[in-house]
Amino acid sequence: MLNKKRSTLETKIEVSLAENKSVAESKLETGIGFFDHMLTLFSFHSDLYLEVKAKGDLEVDYHHTVEDVGIVLGQLIRELYLNKPSYQRYGFFYLPMDESLARVVLDLSGRPHLSFEAQFSKEKIGLFDVELIEEFFNAVAMNSRMTLHIDLLKSGNAHHEAEAIFKAFARSLKIALTDVEGGIPSSKGVIE
């Protein structure tokens, strides 16, 4: 089990991550119901155990909490793949959620990049600003040092759009983390 804490004047974040979800049922306490729901879906579809305890300045807005959870989760994803003797490295997945369709392609390369192409049908899902979804994935990509391409190909219901993205990301990551033989998956012999 990997654990990391981050404490700033805006947030206090504790995240635990384990490759085998059968460790226990994930526990998510961010204070943001919709975000907890998305993280639950991520945990289920990635087969990663995830525990998040976050206290943030929610009276300001959700931005700091969502971004800082992404920072810490990204750091733990990086630690997870760098500690593996070998892994698939690349992952991609198309995922439909009723009328919505998302595609996520990623590379656990040590080279951080986010390409995020999503036009959501609404600006908010309940009280949650959909622009925070891109902020979350930017924090994950930069701190895990992964190349991450997220495309919302078909839209309709904003909740379904977000759900398709989180599930497709989870499935792509699960593929990329799959154990394979042959050592470090780079012709350079190293991923930094």
DSSP 78: H
Say if residue 22's pLDDT is above 80. no
List own/partner pairs for 26-31 with CB under 8 A and 24 or more apart: 26/50, 26/51, 27/51, 27/52, 27/53, 28/52, 29/53, 29/54, 30/54, 30/56, 30/65, 30/66, 30/69, 31/55, 31/56, 31/58, 31/65
pLDDT band at 144 (very low <50, low <70, confident <90, very high): very high
Domains in the chain: ranges and CATH = 2-176 (3.30.230.40)
Q: Output the six-digit token pair for 42.
A: 């991520």
Beta bridge partners of 49: 18
pLDDT digits (tens, 9 = 90+) for 33-89: 999 999 999 999 999 999 999 999 999 999 999 999 999 999 999 999 999 989 999
Per DSSP, the three-state class of 89 is coil
CB 43 within 8 A of CB 77: no
pLDDT of amino acid 24: 67
Note the pTM of the prediction, 2 decimals.
0.96
What is the CB neighbour count within 10 angstroms for residue 22? 8
pLDDT digits (tens, 9 = 90+) for 90-137: 999 999 999 999 999 999 999 999 999 999 999 999 999 999 999 999
pLDDT of amino acid 191: 85
pLDDT of amino acid 23: 57
- Which among 145, 165, 146, 147 has a CA at the least distance from the CA of 155? 165
pLDDT of amino acid 90: 98
pLDDT band at 189 (very low <50, low <70, confident <90, very high): confident
What is the CB neighbour count within 10 angstroms for residue 144? 26
